[in-house]
């Protein structure tokens, strides 16, 4: 996206919020427009500050980050969410992604990578560290019920849409998919939008998860 990239930081630790805001504010067009101290403050803060991206802590005292993400992503036009946490258990990762988070990063991620992740997710690209991705896909691939559901869902797509799904699952950008499949970037975006609509998904990360559930990548 072009212009100012607006970010909301959600964390119950004031020092963490302040550190993230100091690190991100002004970094290559990023502006931290607001902060929230708990998940129950997220919807009001989004209404007030209109961020493009929300950095969401996982564990908070009243409403946790997964519940807050699910509530937020259920709203039309919701901002993208990156869960930023110290707790990287498989269950937490899966719950966050299925709640609609577009990414999952650990709090020890170097600051430049967090800033880069914010910019990337604003463009609709999924954000997962390689270590988390491998663990997530290994788990998903072993779940027979998820495999059957994923296969049934993908059967509703056209062959070209399935090609795009496979490329998304392999972490390709829109430009890379366009080059590999000999189509324009606009056509790739149209296929991705069609896949999201047909499958009732929120973002590219969920497309990738579904493809791996189906054993395609």
Domains and CATH numbers, the chain: 5-137 (3.40.50.2300), 144-213 (1.10.10.10)
Question: Is residue 128 within 8 Å of residue 136, measured between CB atoms?
Answer: yes
pLDDT (tens digit, 9 = 90+) per residue, 74-114? 998 899 999 988 866 767 777 888 888 988 888 888 888 88
Token readout for 17 is 């919020």
38 CB-near residues (< 8 Å, 6+ apart): 10, 12, 60, 61, 62, 63
Give the DSSP letter string of 44-113: HHHHHH--SEEEE-S--SSS-HHHHHHHHHTSTTPPEEEEEES---HHHHHHHHHTT-SEEEETTS-HHH
Regions of the chain with pLDDT less than 50: none
Token readout for 2 is 């072009």
pLDDT at res. 209: 84
pLDDT at res. 129: 66
The two counts, helices (H) then strands (E), for the chain are 11, 6
Pairing type for strands 5-10 and 127-128 reads: unpaired
pLDDT at res. 140: 56
pLDDT (tens digit, 9 = 90+) per residue, 30-45? 999 999 999 999 999 9
* Cα gap 100→92, rounded to integer Å: 13
pLDDT at res. 128: 72
Q: How much of the chain is helix, strand and coil, in % rounded to 5?
A: 55, 15, 30
Please name which of 206, 209, 32, 8 lies closest in space to residue 124, comparing C-alpha atoms: 206
How much is the pTM? 0.66
CB 96: neighbour CB atoms within 10 A?
26
Axis-axis angle for helices 144-154, 204-213 (nearest 10): 120
pLDDT at res. 131: 64
Instruction: Please give the distance of CA 50 from its chain centroid, rounded to a whole number.
Output: 18
φ, ψ of residue 191 to 5 degrees: the values are -65, -40
pLDDT at res. 139: 62
Token readout for 172 is 């390709």
């Amino acid at each position: 996206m072009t212009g100012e990239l607006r970010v909301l930081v959600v964390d119950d630790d004031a020092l963490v919020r302040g550190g993230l805001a100091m690190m991100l504010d002004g970094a290559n067009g990023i502006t931290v427009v607001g902060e929230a101290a708990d998940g129950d403050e997220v919807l009001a803060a989004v209404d007030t500050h209109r961020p493009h991206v929300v950095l969401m802590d996982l564990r908070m005292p009243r409403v946790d980050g997964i519940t807050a993400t699910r509530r937020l992503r259920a709203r039309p036009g919701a901002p993208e969410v990156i869960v930023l946490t110290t707790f990287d258990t498989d269950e937490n990762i899966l719950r966050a992604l299925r709640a609609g988070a577009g990414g999952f990063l650990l709090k020890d991620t170097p600051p430049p990578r967090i800033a880069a992740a914010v910019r990337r997710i604003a463009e609709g690209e999924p954000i997962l560290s390689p270590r988390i991705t491998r663990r997530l896909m290994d788990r998903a691939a072993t779940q027979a019920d998820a495999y059957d559901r994923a296969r049934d869902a993908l059967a509703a797509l056209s062959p070209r849409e399935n090609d795009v799904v496979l490329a998304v699952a392999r972490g390709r950008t829109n430009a890379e998919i366009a080059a590999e499949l000999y189509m324009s970037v606009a056509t790739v975006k149209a296929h991705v939008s069609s896949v999201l609509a047909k499958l009732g998904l929120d973002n590219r990360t969920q497309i990738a998860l579904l493809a791996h559930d189906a054993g395609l990548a």
